[in-house]
Amino acid sequence: NLRYATISQNAMNAKRRGYHYDRDTKKYVVRVCVDGVRFHIGSFLSEEEAIRARFEATAKYFGQFAHGG
């Protein structure tokens, strides 16, 4: 099944992790970019927490276009 999506919406479904490890703070940092505006979601001690936060943020901001995997 296909659905109509803009280039921006289709890019939201890309398989990017959406977080990185900051060596200075020794935490995983999660950021989400929505319509060209970058939102800092948070900093987390574990990678699992960062993944969970990224998943929740993409579901909130991107809805059906969020990558679920």
Q: Model confidence over 1-26: pLDDT tens digits?
A: 678 888 777 766 655 578 889 999 99
Which residues 6+ apart lie within 8 Å of 2 measured at CB? none
Could you give the residue ranges of the DSSP H alpha helices within 3-67? 7-11, 47-62
Average the pLDDT over 45-57 and give the result.
Answer: 93
Q: What is the pLDDT of residue 15?
A: 55
Task: Using the predicted structure, report yes or no on whether residue 48 has a pLDDT greater than 90.
Answer: yes
Segment (H or E) for 27: strand 27-34
Mean pLDDT, the chain, whole residue set: 85
Tell me the whole-structure pTM to 2 decimals: 0.68
Q: What is the pLDDT of residue 39?
A: 93
